[in-house]
Structure 1
Amino acid sequence: MLIGVIAGLIGLSFGMFGVLAFRVSEQQRHIVDVDVDDPSLPEGAAEVLAVLGRAFVVVDAIDGVVRASPAAYAYGLVRGHTVVHQQLLELTAKVRRDGVILEQQLELPRGPLGQGTIVVQVRAAVITEEYILLLADDRTEFTRTEEVRNDFVANVSHELKTPVGAISLLAEALESSADDPEAVKRFAKRMHKESTRLAALVQDIIELSRLQGANVAQQGRPVDINTVVSEAVDRSQLPAESKNIRLVVGGHADAMVYGDQDLLVTALRNLIDNAIRYSPENTKVGVGIRAKDGLVAVSVTDQGDGLSAEDQERVFERFYRVDAARSRQTGGTGLGLSIVKHVISNHGGEVTLWSQLGQGSTFTIRLPEIEGQGDGDVPEAGKPAAHPSSRDPRPQRRDAAGVHEQGATA
């Protein structure tokens, strides 16, 4: 009867938490065998607990800990022979009083200082008149992922409503102005702008989806950083030329990084396009390349207005815009820098930002080098690697290759 109750509880728990099977299997590696000869446990219970491979706690009639797995200690559920959290004690009291299996999701402090929390799904059941078994699954990552997913869906829905609604209104206005050629032309131009913005948003969402499925560790290959820079700069030529902005590449690094070339090009192009978007017309955007001490750094410097300390803290968040009205006007989706952060993180690197109001911004990508020696200093985190010269009114009228002024100040 005893083993049947425990086995039934385990079966229910596995059914409810199938989505966390992988996490559970990982936890099993770190849980040591239980001493099956422990006389303080009821007959047969120790054998079941020995193969359970889960975070568990067995308490007696006065809530003293009779047995607990290493995972239960790691989760902070138990300290010494004491159940730490009042919520767990209240759960055991209900189970002891009613004699039923109860389940509850709890958010608990990770440690005695209360810094950080862990979300655990706890199931409790009576296994004898004296003992109660608690099973716990760490759902912190699962819960966080669900929150991110829900926020993302809500944000996407909101972002899609704006251009779709604008296109709908413009279509109605266009229909009512069929006999006015100037109005038709004006409304058609605005419809084209909104549809372009919608297409950009959809493309960024596709990129984020691709990031979720990308496995750089398994699918990556050696990539020439100069090729990444060259392709990203070439693809950013049209938006640069539309504002008379020169793209100036400085430095050279005979260095290879490991990863997905297309994703790296996308990340760097997003940085360059962002710099173009927030730079005044007739200026320069600098792209600097350096490699040293096993790190490859690519910096993008603009001559925009710079960012406040508050904006710097949030600029990599999804859908965050420093100037929402201006971003919509220039076609920004609020996803570009978030994509950059995820791409570089997936490649084992980092993205840093230096910015001051009135002095522009420098975004620096750092990636581990897999071969070759660098030829210059890698900028320190939080400092601008280089800055384009002051405003250059000369119009750009060159082909894409013309921007590769190796050795120029970037």
Structure 2
Amino acid sequence: MDSAWLVLLSLALGLAVGAGFVWLLHIAARRGDHAVQVASPTVPDGVDQVLDALESAGVVLDPSNNVIKASPGAHSIGLVWNGALVHPHLVELVDQVRRNGEPITEDCELARGPFGDASIYLSVRVARLGTRYVLLLAEDRTESFRLETVRRDFVANISHELKTPIGAVGLLAEALDDASDDPDQVRRFAHRLTEESHRLARITQDIIELSRLQAADAFTNAERVSANKVVSAALDQNRVAAEARGIELAVKGDKSAQVIGEEALLVTAVHNLVSNAIQYSPDDSRVGIGVRTIDGVVEIAVTDQGEGIPEDDLDRVFERFFRVDQARSRHTGGTGLGLAIVKHAVQNHGGEVRVWSQPGRGSTFTIRLPEASSVARPPIGEPT
């Protein structure tokens, strides 16, 4: 009897120990699964596909602010690096949403990438994604901001440029009235008045020309054009100004080169380069104009022997109203739009314009256009 009880007690103890062991294994398995989920977190269903298809920047972060998933746009604008958000300000927004639970929308300026000097302008939206994650969406507004800045500067520059000649015209008109009894004074003020009116006309014409070039349908009369003919027409427009200062206009190069485009517009581009070269060259010097064809590209280069352009200004010379030497440009009557017109005219022909310069040694501006025989169709309206 005693032995039977002992057997039953042993069986009961064995079952209890076995059940406890199974329960411990179950708890350990659950903890293991939780550890795996923490080590390899997953975002809610469908979010992966949405981020992969998203053109703008999208980032999902876990409770430790580790980046679980990021769209290609987030990497391209430098928001994510080494599995984390690059910018401390964005981390602050994420933490604020995690604390308060309320979505945040903000426009901010940030550095591009972890080591970038350039800035990007973003419209940021941060919100919770479920109970564990935070979703950050960012729309790159850098180009819109740049265009708005250009527009604002353009309006301000136009106002400044027009203010001087308009004010001068008013003053000269009053001076003419006061000097009506002095023929010499009348002639002098009338001459000044004529100069200021011409200056106003040049500014107005350049603004109209630049606006036309920036339109989608800048021109449609594309035809095969001789580069030599373009250069000759541009030189004819500048020959009197060059001779007045004893500047030699030397031309050499390929006379058979041809491009596709609008002849009048190309003449304007080359004319502006030659005119600038004459203005910034010393008296009794030389301006060279060369034409060559290389690897299917026609190059028209204009070289002067002037003071040259500082290296810091080389990237800005094609900006509207930018002048390397403000005082000299005013004296020569430049509008500050000539090189901007050159740039847009060449780009509308599918080409580019380059500049080389060294202070004390002069400058070379080179227009590069597709050779007529190397293009299957006119490259009009398709800038490089």
| One-letter amino acid matched to 2:335 | T
Identity between Structure 1 and Structure 2 (%): 52
Residues 275 and 300, structure 1, Cα contact 8 Å, conserved in 2: yes
Residues 130-169 of structure 1 show CA distances to partners (whole Å, capped at 9, x for unaligned) of 3322111112222222222222222222111111111111
Match of 1:168 in 2: 170
2:184 pairs with 182, 185, 200, which one? 182
Residues 61 and 130, structure 1, Cα contact 8 Å, conserved in 2: yes
1:236 match: secondary structure: helix
Alpha carbons of structure 1 residues 55 and 363: separation in structure 2 relative to 1, 3 Å = closer
Match of 2:21 in 1: none
Deviation, 1:270, is 0.2
Alpha carbons of structure 1 residues 75 and 192: separation in structure 2 relative to 1, 3 Å = same
Match of 2:238 in 1: 236
Match of 2:276 in 1: 274
The whole-number CA distance in structure 2 between the counterparts of 1:45 and 1:312 is 47
Listed as ranges, the matches of 1:68-107 within 5 Å are 68-107=70-109
The whole-number CA distance in structure 2 between the counterparts of 1:50 and 1:341 is 38
**2:352 matches 1:349:** yes
Unmatched tracts of structure 1, length 5 or more: 1-37, 373-410
Residues 41 and 68, structure 2, Cα contact 8 Å, conserved in 1: no
Residues 309 and 324, structure 2, Cα contact 8 Å, conserved in 1: no
Match of 1:146 in 2: 148
Residues 343 and 352, structure 2, Cα contact 8 Å, conserved in 1: no
Match of 1:111 in 2: 113
| One-letter amino acid matched to 1:297 | E
Alpha carbons of structure 1 residues 231 and 86: separation in structure 2 relative to 1, 3 Å = same
The whole-number CA distance in structure 2 between the counterparts of 1:364 and 1:48 is 47
Listed as ranges, the matches of 1:114-263 within 5 Å are 114-214=116-216, 221-240=223-242, 243=245, 245=247, 247-263=249-265
The whole-number CA distance in structure 2 between the counterparts of 1:50 and 1:155 is 44
Deviation, 1:129, is 3.2
The whole-number CA distance in structure 2 between the counterparts of 1:235 and 1:308 is 25
| One-letter amino acid matched to 2:310 | A
Greater percentage in helix: 2
The whole-number CA distance in structure 1 between the counterparts of 2:52 and 2:277 is 59
The whole-number CA distance in structure 2 between the counterparts of 1:65 and 1:306 is 54
1:334 match: secondary structure: coil
The whole-number CA distance in structure 1 between the counterparts of 2:298 and 2:111 is 39
Deviation, 1:124, is 1.4
The whole-number CA distance in structure 1 between the counterparts of 2:200 and 2:346 is 25
Deviation, 1:194, is 0.9
Alpha carbons of structure 1 residues 84 and 218: separation in structure 2 relative to 1, 3 Å = farther
TM-score by length of 1: 0.70
The whole-number CA distance in structure 2 between the counterparts of 1:262 and 1:268 is 10
1:337 match: secondary structure: helix
Alpha carbons of structure 1 residues 161 and 350: separation in structure 2 relative to 1, 3 Å = same
Q: How many residues align?
A: 333
**2:310 matches 1:306:** no
Deviation, 1:367, is 2.7
Alpha carbons of structure 1 residues 310 and 109: separation in structure 2 relative to 1, 3 Å = closer
The whole-number CA distance in structure 2 between the counterparts of 1:283 and 1:110 is 46
Alpha carbons of structure 1 residues 50 and 266: separation in structure 2 relative to 1, 3 Å = same
Alpha carbons of structure 1 residues 219 and 144: separation in structure 2 relative to 1, 3 Å = farther
1:371 match: secondary structure: helix
Residues 317 and 339, structure 2, Cα contact 8 Å, conserved in 1: yes
The whole-number CA distance in structure 2 between the counterparts of 1:66 and 1:189 is 74
The whole-number CA distance in structure 1 between the counterparts of 2:280 and 2:66 is 62
Residues 216 and 260, structure 1, Cα contact 8 Å, conserved in 2: no
Alpha carbons of structure 1 residues 50 and 363: separation in structure 2 relative to 1, 3 Å = closer
| One-letter amino acid matched to 1:353 | W
Deviation, 1:190, is 0.7
Residues 86 and 114, structure 2, Cα contact 8 Å, conserved in 1: no
Residues 304 and 363, structure 2, Cα contact 8 Å, conserved in 1: yes
The whole-number CA distance in structure 1 between the counterparts of 2:174 and 2:71 is 66
Residues 158-200 of structure 1 show CA distances to partners (whole Å, capped at 9, x for unaligned) of 1111111111111122222223222222111111111111111
Match of 2:333 in 1: 331
2:59 match: secondary structure: strand
| Aligned-residue RMSD, C-alpha | 3.2
The whole-number CA distance in structure 2 between the counterparts of 1:166 and 1:211 is 30
Residues 299 and 363, structure 1, Cα contact 8 Å, conserved in 2: yes
Q: Mark the structure with the bigger radius of gyration.
A: 2
The whole-number CA distance in structure 2 between the counterparts of 1:218 and 1:115 is 41
1:299 match: secondary structure: strand
1:114 match: secondary structure: coil
Deviation, 1:55, is 2.3
Deviation, 1:243, is 4.6
Residues 72-100 of structure 1 show CA distances to partners (whole Å, capped at 9, x for unaligned) of 22222223542232111111122233333
Alpha carbons of structure 1 residues 307 and 131: separation in structure 2 relative to 1, 3 Å = same
Residues 277 and 302, structure 2, Cα contact 8 Å, conserved in 1: yes
The whole-number CA distance in structure 1 between the counterparts of 2:339 and 2:270 is 10
1:94 match: secondary structure: helix
Listed as ranges, the matches of 1:49-60 within 5 Å are 53-60=55-62
Residues 43-85 of structure 1 show CA distances to partners (whole Å, capped at 9, x for unaligned) of 6656765765542112233323333212222222223542232
